[in-house]
Structure 1
């Protein structure tokens, strides 16, 4: 019989086949613990078990992204407050011991103390679709890299008759050449065996390349519906956008502000001063895949975005190293991306630039000469292949000045 006056907290130690559940009161007194099967009927029994002792004010679950994912969804759908709990560190386990009941009680006590807990990802929307699609893409990328490395490794020690056919070819030339080759002979002949294996690996590489392209198209379709404006940011493509959305999760409200997002992506500066040296460095914590994605954005902007180029020049003149400049840029990029995810803003319209220039009879070379830039730079802006809002606005104003008002 439920005691409505008693407030309890549950803790769950999750495993592949079973979950161990422990109950404590709001004052930390141990009440009961029990093991359940990690199946649908087991989840229903868990809900009945934790609600029979009183009002449930919180549930701590270990591994909400793996073994406890489905349980977290079921509990949340029942209106119960679920929090992800970090597993006990080695020092705690060394002192207190290790068992399923102990871990379950520790999860409940972490919720009670508000220590080492966070809001789990919902895993019930488009971002979960992105995560699953990215899983297939990442494995295909790794397998493709392995295939091309094996091809080049075999060619290094291949017989001269085989090596001479493909010597000096780039990867783009090598794969189709190997794929369309027609080795002849027997498997007891090293030349034939080598050529046959190279053809097999080249075919595998081509199939994996096709898988990656299909995954990119699928990711783009989901992004077009869920976050169509995220890729409007300079340097942000399908790969970066999908990874950062996966890092955020379907329930973006679990990240309270852009400072928390920076900490989650490993772009938050932390003090690294000592003695007379005063400096900061980036946090080594957070999601490393998200940090890699932001790093790619920074590298892309340093090469193509004029605003970023000007910033790099200015900070270099101030005595900052390239590593320190990139640290600052990562922080700026994470702030901009968080704002775009939570409050999306469309990119400025640039479709009027090329028709206006052509109507005035101005060549790209003449326009680029006025702005002391390359014609290709303006061409990419006109076609939407790169983004430089400041240059686009100046370009539009200049074109307007070249068009005399009608009398």
Structure 2
């Protein structure tokens, strides 16, 4: 990360300092990139920098932050949206993640609006105690709210009472749906383990995507005569087009859309956890390729993987 006192980012990144106690991380999240700030426990800004919203970016963010000290707490804007993946990563690294609200209007008018300031504000919220709701505990806290006001709540304002009731009902509903999702996932896992267990060994393929692809295979067994036919069946084969002397390929909008969506989920899971896919993505980004264009090739690769695994299952002798 670049030091707030050093104008050159590259020179600051080369500077290695011995960790000086605990530091706090603050992150302003966006769809494609996150802005991070590292503050000392006294509130001094040690560094700010921008990172891609990818698994490789998260690792780099934490690695650089730890050069300034021990990271135990992090304030993240939007832990339920753009910051969800980063929050999960930080929690897995043993860091307490606090959900941070946007900078209040008065503070924004006084300090101005910029991503570095928002990231610094996220860390300051943790230091000051304003960010009290830890990301994994927020749901549990809301679930404790009862749907009926008790005598202790009788003195509350009507708006506060209505808010507590609504949050409690929503939390209970989320809990019920989460339990149903876990039950369905367990059932799907048992089905895949019975009919195509090899699919679950592939990076990025879970029970839901495996079932979606197996349904596509089962509905179209006559089209599994070649790798290319299955890729086309899933709607991830390139479509050749020409305009005058210009030859190009466009997005294939045909094929089984459920299988296409399953391959899409596989690729984006790999972008979070698979180093090979991450390296490929970063390399193509540097070449100036668009995100949509980059994703098409890994989707075709995933379809070919599934095809050969399914063909192995079909050719295996029945026991």
Q: Normalised by the size of structure 1, how large is the TM-score?
A: 0.39
Indicate the structure with greater strand content.
2
